[in-house]
Each structure stands twice: as structure tokens, then as C-alpha cells.
């Protein structure tokens, strides 16, 4: 029976560049069939005159349509986007549900209506469908928008597989246990959004292995590096990029000594390969707070920080979080953000 060393040699041959890539379920390739609807319209803020008009005139329902926006308006593959539903004055929108590219969006109510986060697929670009359902005045509503997602190219590296590779049942069982534990935590995010400031880097942004790098064997991409490696010497600090709650810490086969932070609304970020960890599960961390010390534990060949991010359990590029800021709570906040964005010529609100 093939045991230990041969299996490790195999894993290192397959996954061991600077940082191990963690095999995940296959990602769907390509966008779902695009429905025949218009592209997402700019987010509509109702003016005070319209609001007064809407509240003065009772039903007929619906007085004003829902306003749906996605930010940024031209997102890239594997990035985090904000979904905003503005409910006009009048009947409330009850128990709305939303999906983007057939993935659930966790929605929470705020002053303007409902808001949530979505993670765009690592391998899907083109036109993706945003689907929103809910009830107003006892009537079912179904809104659809099409989001245009910009494609991105991932680099790839060839890998070699050494002969005599064999699996180790004990290691396989451990990996399966850890994968199940981590997956269950990744989908246990709170619906309270914790960050009040834009996301920052957990270490200085010197990238040593890019997000999405494909490991090619026999001409096919066998796995992707679903995180971003940042340079770090052993013992240097890793820091919370935004406020969050420590969702999970542990010593795992691939990830080594790892910290998982829950920021709320389904967004979790993770930090791998530490030599030591200084936070505990349940801790609330502030932006810039020390999480641990850079190391090379788990499937890693040199000290560095591997940074991952997930929305509702699906991997996204953590770099898409840099500068990310939620949530305008009032119409005035959104208007101010829109004004600023148009002045910046970006056209996006956050």
C-alpha cells in the first residue's frame, strides 16, 4: 500500500510551486445562456418630488418599479460585487431572494431597501443573469438584469507528476474532514456587516503568485491557485484588512496554520501557512490588527502569506476587495457617492 512519502512527493509535484493550490470542485465554464433582456440600468434614486407623488397617490400598485443596481457596473471575473435593490415609497418588498449567475446573494434590509454581496465565477464571463424575486402588496415580482462581466486571462504553469504516486487513505480522510469543516464555516457568515472602512492589504502588496494561476498537466488545467500569494519573511506579521470576526483557526493539511475571518454578508477572507497565530475563534478584529506570523506550514515550500476570499463559499480574487466599501445607508449617502463617482469619471457607486 502506498503510504506517506510517495503521496507527499506526488502532492508536491502536482501542487508545490511557491504555494500549494487547493483542489476544489470543478468551476462551471462559460456564462449561462443569456436571457433576452436589457443590460443593467444605472441605479435609480427617487427624487423627493417622485416620493411625495408616490405617497400621495394610493394604489394602483405598483406605483414605481424597483430600482436594481450592481457595483461596480463593469466587474471582472472572480470579483466581489454589491447588489442594491431600492424599493420606492409604498408597499414593502417582502422576503426578496436574489441569485447572480445562479448563486445565492445574501440580502439584508437597510434604509433604501435591500443590499447584498455576490461573488462572480472564477471561470465565467460575458453576460450573467441577476434574478430577483419578492412580494409587494401580496403580488409576486420577478426582476431580471443582465450583468456584463469582463473576462480576464489567468497565467498558467506546467506541472510534472512524479512516477509511483499513490494515495494515502489516512491523509485522504484528513483532507476530506478538513474540507467539510472549512466549507461548513464558509457558509456560516453573519448577516451583520462589520467593516466600516475600505479593505486594505493584509501585507504589503508584493505578489509572488497570482490569483487564478492554472497548473497545466497533459495540456489541461488541472487546478487553479484560488488565492493570492504575498511576499513575507518568516515571523513578519499578517494583518486584518478590515473588521471581522475570527470564524475558524486551525492547523490544516493544505492551508497549514490558517485564520478565517468573517466580515458578514457571506464574505470570508482567509490567511494560510502561518508559523503562529495570535487570534482565537470568536475574536472581533479591527482593521490592521495582527492575525499571526508569516510561515511555511501546510503545503508550502517557502514562507509567504497565501490570501483567499470567498462569497457564500465560492472563491473570488481577494485583490478585488482592495478599497471595497459597503454600505451607503441613506439616499443622501448614495447620491453623494454617485456624484463623487461621476466626478472621478468612474460611474460606479459603492
By CB under 5 A, tell whether 317 contacts Zn ion.
Answer: no
Residue placing its CB nearer to Zn ion in the complex, 229 or 314? 229
Residue placing its CB nearer to Zn ion in the complex, 44 or 179? 179
**Stretch of residues binding Zn ion (CB under 5 A), selected from 30-38, 178-186, 230-238, 306-314:** 306-314
User: Which residues fall within 8 angstroms of residue 94, CB to CB, at 6 or more apart?
Assistant: 134, 135, 136
By CB under 5 A, tell whether 227 contacts Zn ion.
Answer: yes
Residues 14-43, mask of contacts with Zn ion (x by CB under 5 A): -----x------------------------
**DSSP assigned state of 319:** G
By CB under 5 A, tell whether 273 contacts Zn ion.
Answer: no
Kindly tell me the burial class for residue 127, based on how many C-beta atoms sit within 10 Å of its own C-beta (0-12, 13-18, 19 or more). middle
Q: How far is the CB of 44 from Zn ion (least distance, A)?
A: 41
- Residue 134 has phi, psi (to 5 degrees) of -175, -175
Residue placing its CB nearer to Zn ion in the complex, 96 or 256? 256
Q: How far is the CB of 270 from Zn ion (least distance, A)?
A: 11
Q: What are the b/e assignments for 56-92, b being 16+ CB within 10 Å?
A: eeeeeeebbebbbbbbbbebebbbbbbbbbbbbebbe
Q: How far is the CB of 112 from Zn ion (least distance, A)?
A: 38
Q: How far is the CB of 174 from Zn ion (least distance, A)?
A: 20
Query: What is the number of alpha carbons within 13 Å of residue 114 lying toward its C-beta?
Result: 22
Cell triple for 74: 463593469
- Figure out which of the listed residues 168, 229, 317, 338 binds Zn ion, where binding follows CB under 5 A: 229
**Stretch of residues binding Zn ion (CB under 5 A), selected from 47-55, 120-128, 160-168, 219-227:** 219-227
| Residue 249 near residue 272 (C-beta atoms within 8 A) | no
Residue placing its CB nearer to Zn ion in the complex, 263 or 299? 299
Cα separations (Å) of 347 from 4, 69, 113, 342?
55, 12, 21, 5
By CB under 5 A, tell whether 306 contacts Zn ion.
Answer: yes
By CB under 5 A, tell whether 309 contacts Zn ion.
Answer: no
Cα separation of 52 and 212, whole Å? 50
Q: Which positions touch Zn ion (CB under 5 A)?
A: 19, 227, 229, 306
Amino acid at each position: 500500500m502506498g503510504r506517506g512519502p510517495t503521496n507527499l512527493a506526488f502532492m508536491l509535484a502536482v501542487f508545490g510551486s511557491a504555494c500549494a493550490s487547493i483542489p476544489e470542485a470543478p468551476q462551471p465554464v462559460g456564462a449561462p445562456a443569456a436571457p433576452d433582456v436589457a443590460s443593467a440600468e444605472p441605479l435609480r434614486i427617487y427624487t423627493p418630488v417622485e416620493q411625495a407623488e408616490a405617497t400621495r397617490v394610493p394604489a394602483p400598485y405598483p406605483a414605481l418599479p424597483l430600482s436594481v443596481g450592481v457595483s461596480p457596473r463593469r466587474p471582472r471575473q472572480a470579483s466581489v460585487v454589491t447588489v442594491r435593490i431600492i424599493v420606492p415609497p409604498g408597499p414593502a418588498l417582502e422576503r426578496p431572494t436574489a441569485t447572480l449567475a445562479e448563486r445565492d446573494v445574501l440580502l439584508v434590509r437597510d434604509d433604501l431597501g435591500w443590499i447584498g454581496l455576490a461573488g462572480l465565477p472564477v471561470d465565467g464571463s460575458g453576460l450573467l443573469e441577476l434574478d430577483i424575486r419578492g412580494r409587494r402588496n401580496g403580488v409576486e415580482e420577478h426582476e431580471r438584469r443582465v450583468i456584463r462581466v469582463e473576462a480576464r486571462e489567468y497565467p498558467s504553469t506546467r506541472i510534472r507528476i512524479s512516477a509511483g504516486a499513490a494515495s494515502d487513505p489516512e491523509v485522504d480522510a484528513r483532507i476530506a474532514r478538513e474540507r467539510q469543516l472549512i466549507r461548513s464555516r464558509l457558509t456560516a457568515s453573519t448577516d451583520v456587516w462589520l467593516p466600516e472602512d475600505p479593505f486594505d492589504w493584509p501585507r504589503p502588496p508584493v505578489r509572488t503568485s497570482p490569483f487564478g494561476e492554472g497548473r497545466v498537466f497533459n495540456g489541461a488545467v488541472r487546478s487553479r491557485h484560488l488565492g493570492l500569494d504575498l511576499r513575507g519573511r518568516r515571523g513578519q506579521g499578517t494583518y486584518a484588512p478590515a473588521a471581522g470576526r475570527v470564524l475558524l483557526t486551525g492547523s490544516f493539511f493544505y492551508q497549514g496554520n490558517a485564520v478565517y475571518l468573517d466580515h458578514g454578508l457571506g464574505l470570508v477572507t482567509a490567511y494560510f501557512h502561518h508559523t503562529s497565530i495570535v487570534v482565537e475563534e470568536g475574536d472581533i478584529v479591527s482593521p490592521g490588527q495582527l492575525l499571526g506570523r508569516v510561515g511555511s506550514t501546510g503545503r508550502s515550500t517557502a514562507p509567504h502569506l497565501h490570501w483567499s476570499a470567498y462569497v457564500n463559499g465560492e472563491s473570488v480574487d481577494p485583490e478585488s476587495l482592495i478599497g471595497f466599501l459597503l454600505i451607503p445607508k441613506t439616499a443622501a449617502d448614495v447620491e453623494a457617492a454617485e456624484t463623487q463617482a461621476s466626478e472621478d469619471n468612474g460611474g460606479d457607486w459603492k
